[in-house]
Structure 1
Amino acid sequence: MPLTGPQSVDRALDLLDAVAAAPGPVTAKALARTVGCSLSTAYHLLGPLTARGHLVRTPQGYALGPRIPGLQRSFQRHLRPAPGIADVLPRLRRATGAEAYYTAYRGGLITVVDTTAPVTDTANPFTPGQEARAHATAHGKALLAELPRPARRRYLADHGMVRLTDRTITSADRFEAELATVRAQGFAVSVGEADPAYTCLAVALPQPRDDGAVHALSVSLPTADFRRRRLALTAAVTGAAAALLPAG
């Protein structure tokens, strides 16, 4: 018997997530196995997802459909980004030689919204989507440092502070001290805390928000390169963030 109600919604979203996580098209049989449902249930739920354009059926299997880019654009629009943010990322990439990122905190979640890193760069540790390692990334620190303490504590309680490398901060008190340093110096740095091979540097955008959201710019690069270019990178990212200040 096909799933109905909230259970069917959950399972349909599981299927969509499974397709998104796959390296290429996925057969219905493989999807059913991945999400733990019968093949008939998988087909029952894949039909509406395909009809609405969230998925497309190819000879090799199911892949993300033409509706997905529109959802991404709508998501970015709802964030109400600073004017010019789309131009800032490639300029920052050219100025620093490091991949640049636009991230945001909203509604208790932190998201990597956009990046200059190619979609084919599977080695890059900071890909678009929800950020589950905010305590270990520069953009996470920059965003959390701007929040009121109760909101910050709620975020850490909800998402935890998993140890990712031997440099990851997992103590709440030590993390608070780290954020005090971020606020004092105006930027955040994570040296191998999320990925042992990478360092990232981030600055919160200095624009007033009335929706509780916080936005940030950041760059990431191999740690050895960062140690040689720290001052220049800091100046480039802080300068790019300052350029997004609203006029007047």
Structure 2
Amino acid sequence: MPQGGPQSVDRALAVLDAVAEAPGPVSAKALARQVGCALSTAYHLLGPLTDRGYLTRTPLGYVPGPRIPGLHRALRRHLGTADGRADGMAELLSRVRRATGGEAYHTAYQGGRITVVDTTAPVTDTANPFAPGRELRAHATAHGKALLAELPRALRRRYFDEHGMARLTPATITSAERMEAELARVRGQGFAVSIGEADPAYTCLALALPGAAGAGTDAVHALSVSLPTAEYGRRPDAVRRALAEAAAGRL
């Protein structure tokens, strides 16, 4: 468990993460084992998390509570684009999904972090490799490349210094020099593509949204789509065209 603050705060957040990542309800005893604390301590942490609506206690254990969707809405609001596009992002993602047949994503860079803000992929689709939340594989994804290509070189260097470029598949770019060349290509062609770099079975395509910086923020936004690599290979031009038209507001 990471130790970045008071132990009780770290443990409470670890409990919340454990429940969020579990496939089903989690008992207090299992949470205590997972977090590494006494059962009494686990109950001490679970009380306020439940009272505030971050968790819900069911007969089978703890599950995410009603406060969580509000946090997601707040994240989307704070990462909203300058032209108000975030208000219609869910509908835009649905249109991209219908036009391409792949799952669509809204991602954003802000404050040194890249986040998958929203997606058309069902929460039950555990096979999908790009779930909402913090993106730790940006160097290997099309949306990560599209966002990083928009940043000043100093911010890109800082990002890679902090997050590294782990090899996820044989196709993953792990060299800073190769990555800079790749991002220059992204800027030149106006879109980014990742063929099996984050997940060997998937190809993703992305582009930065016009006017992407949110007012008063350093946020940069991207629109992306992922498909099984074989399916993408049958119609790459059609997928790129649909994504470009969506970003331009013509889809």
TM exceeding 0.5:
yes
Per-residue deviation, 1:205: 0.3
One-letter identity of the residue aligned with 2:199? D
The more displaced of 80-89 and 176-185 is 80-89
| Aligned position for 2:80 | 80
| Aligned position for 1:26 | 26
Question: Which whole-Å CA distance do the structure 2 matches of 1:114 and 1:137 have between them?
Answer: 16
Per-residue deviation, 1:119: 1.1
Q: Is the 8 A contact 2:212 2:221 kept in 1?
A: no
Which of 123, 126, 132 is equivalent to 2:127?
123
Question: Which whole-Å CA distance do the structure 2 matches of 1:108 and 1:201 have between them?
Answer: 22
Query: Residue 138 in 1 paired to residue 123 in 2?
Result: no
Question: Which whole-Å CA distance do the structure 1 matches of 2:116 and 2:185 have between them?
Answer: 23
SS in 1 for 2:235: helix
| Aligned position for 2:41 | 41
1:139-158 matches, within 5 Å, as 139-158=143-162
Per-residue deviation, 1:86: 2.2
Q: Is the 8 A contact 2:202 2:226 kept in 1?
A: yes
Deviation string, structure 1 residues 19-64 (Cα, Å, up to 9, x no partner): 1111111000000000101111101111010111101111101111
Question: Which whole-Å CA distance do the structure 2 matches of 1:184 and 1:98 have between them?
Answer: 25
Query: Residue 102 in 1 paired to residue 102 in 2?
Result: no
| Aligned position for 1:55 | 55
Query: Residue 239 in 1 paired to residue 221 in 2?
Result: no
Structure 1, unaligned runs of 5 or more: none
Deviation string, structure 1 residues 168-207 (Cα, Å, up to 9, x no partner): 0000000000000000000000000000000000000011
Per-residue deviation, 1:145: 0.2
Question: Which whole-Å CA distance do the structure 2 matches of 1:32 and 1:92 have between them?
Answer: 42
Question: Which whole-Å CA distance do the structure 2 matches of 1:208 and 1:75 have between them?
Answer: 16
Structure 2, unaligned runs of 5 or more: none
Call closer, same or farther: CA 1:208–1:227 in 2, change over 3 Å. Answer: closer
Q: Percent identity?
A: 73
| Aligned position for 1:203 | 207
SS in 1 for 2:105: strand
Per-residue deviation, 1:137: 0.2
| Aligned position for 1:191 | 195
Per-residue deviation, 1:208: 5.0
Q: Is the 8 A contact 2:169 2:199 kept in 1?
A: yes
One-letter identity of the residue aligned with 2:48? P
Which of 193, 217, 223 is equivalent to 1:217?
223
Runs of 4+ in structure 1 deviating by more than 3 angstroms, as ranges, are none
Question: Which whole-Å CA distance do the structure 2 matches of 1:119 and 1:12 have between them?
Answer: 23
Question: Which whole-Å CA distance do the structure 1 matches of 2:178 and 2:169 have between them?
Answer: 16
SS in 1 for 2:234: helix
One-letter identity of the residue aligned with 2:105? Y
SS in 2 for 1:34: helix
Residue-pair matches, total: 240
Question: Which whole-Å CA distance do the structure 2 matches of 1:18 and 1:86 have between them?
Answer: 27
One-letter identity of the residue aligned with 2:237? L
Deviation string, structure 1 residues 118-175 (Cα, Å, up to 9, x no partner): 1111100011010000000000000000000000111111111000000000000000
| Aligned position for 1:180 | 184
| Aligned position for 1:112 | 116
